[in-house]
Amino acid sequence: MIWGMGIVAGLDSSTEGTTVVVCDADTGAVLRQGYAPHPVVPLGDATRATAETGTPAAQRIEINPQAWLLSLGEAAKKGLLEGVEAIGVSAQQHGLVALDAGGVLVRPAMLWNDKRAQLAATDLTDELGGPAGWAEAVGCVPQAPYPVSKLRWLARNEPASAERIAEVLLPHDWLVWQLLGRPARRTTDRGDASGTGYWSAATGAYRGDLVELALGHQVRMPEVLGPSEPAGHTPEGLLISAGTGDNMAAGLGLGVGPGDAVVALGAAGTVFAVHHEALTDPTGAITAFADATGRHLPVVQTRNAVRALRGTAEMLGTDLAGLSALALRSTPGSYGVVMLPYLEGERTPHLPYTAGMLSGLRRESMKPEHVARAAFEGMLCGLADALDLLRMRGVRVRRVFLLGSAGELPAVQAVAPSVFGVPIVVPQPADYAALGAARQAAWALAEQRGSAYPQEPPHWESAAFRIVEPGEELPSGSAVRQQYAAVREKTHPGAFGQAP
């Protein structure tokens, strides 16, 4: 197989700004990089209808998409893209960019963390027979972030805008379209399309009837490209690859494959793994996303992860580093103290209105170090429960990648291997979504040159990471999980059998 030399770039447009990495197409080595925050661009008169709904400002998260282009230009200034032959685009999932029949923006883009559509999501779920109906149709149950839920919200709250909507793009779709010079053809990819609520990773087809159910009429939807299929060329001749959503791009940048799972430690938790088929889950606990390589990316989410650590740290008058140091003064099992970390209710298991709790408090266990360790064990046991949902459906897990700054905490690294029961991979901090976009660009460039990997992306040097083995802590990890499960089942019997 011939692999030609070249330089490629990957850009990731997040909620805060744009990161650009320029890489060697052969090895993936980062040659240079840039970053710029999204500038404040006036939203325009289209926001007036939003303000009049009375929705709390904290729930309204929207932006003028021109900000994405402006920050891209700033991030790529001073010749950053000189010599680049292909560009890949990653962007935040679930954003809604609504256009009219002439391709003009109807209203500001609603971002993934806009919370206004939660009631609309609940109503849509009921209208298709509950979670099982949606899981069978498209592999996911409507949630507030999904475009299908946002369309229903618009139909109810901004009917004039909703009537003008003729097509819907995701943030990465819109950026690709702009880079290509706004051609007649609009494109997306499997990964990002699988997060819309109206495209099925199992069938590879849109469900236009679900768009009509949400919005009241049909819209034009972008063509879904294969993983290495190019979207086109810029007016200057640069190849633009299909692009994808940020989670899919991060998986590609990390180099995860079958047997790998990723646990993302944010305020909430996300657990996903690479699998050979879409998993249809009638309870809706597993979301059937697609990845950026042609495989599938089943996802389980929790509402609570690092927020449980931060809450405990505040209660004990310290920070995360101090909480970690405290926890390491305790022993596995936290001297019998168990924390159920359901501070914001919980999605997995389905307990939306519950609260967290501390159990097993005795006079001898009421010490800061035991409470601190219980917070780490509770958070990780909750995520291990989510991972078990994938294992029970046949997903092989031979190692777990920990993403997020909390993965660097010594207490997390001490507890996680035994709780998860497999080696833990802690990658060094990097812009993995942008790296994944660049790797996809290299794949598309190779295919254009006739030297493509037919099934797989090009092999790049692995990112630097540390591996933490379960070692002698594995038996104690099993005991910790048994202790946690006993409290969970006593407090919320049968919760894992309930649909979200």
Please list the active-site residues. Answer: 246
The sign one gets for the Cα dihedral 61, 65, 70, 72 is positive
Q: Which long-range contacts (CB under 8 A, 24 or more apart) does 181-188 make?
A: 181/234, 181/235, 182/103, 183/232, 185/223, 185/232, 186/220, 186/222, 186/223, 187/222, 187/223, 187/224, 187/225, 187/231, 187/232, 187/242, 188/222, 188/223, 188/224, 188/225, 188/242, 188/243
Q: Which two tokens stand for residue 19?
A: 């990161």
Q: What are the residues whose beta carbons fall under 8 Å from the beta carbon of 340, sequence distance 6 or more?
A: 356, 357, 359, 378, 382, 484, 487, 488, 491
In degrees to the nearest 10, what's the CA dihedral of 397, 399, 404, 409? Answer: 130
Neighbour-count burial of 382, counting CB atoms closer than 10 A to its CB (0-12 exposed, 13-18 middle, 19+ buried): buried
Peptide bond into 227 cis (omega under 30): no
**Could you give the 3-state DSSP secondary structure of residue 185?**
coil
Residue the block writes with tokens 């990112």 = 463
Nearest to 66 by CA among 88, 41, 85: 41
Residue the block writes with tokens 């768009």 = 211
8 A C-beta contact, residue 422 and residue 470? yes
Give the separation between CA 43 and CA 96, rounded to whole angstroms. Answer: 15
Give the separation between CA 219 and CA 221, rounded to whole angstroms. Answer: 6
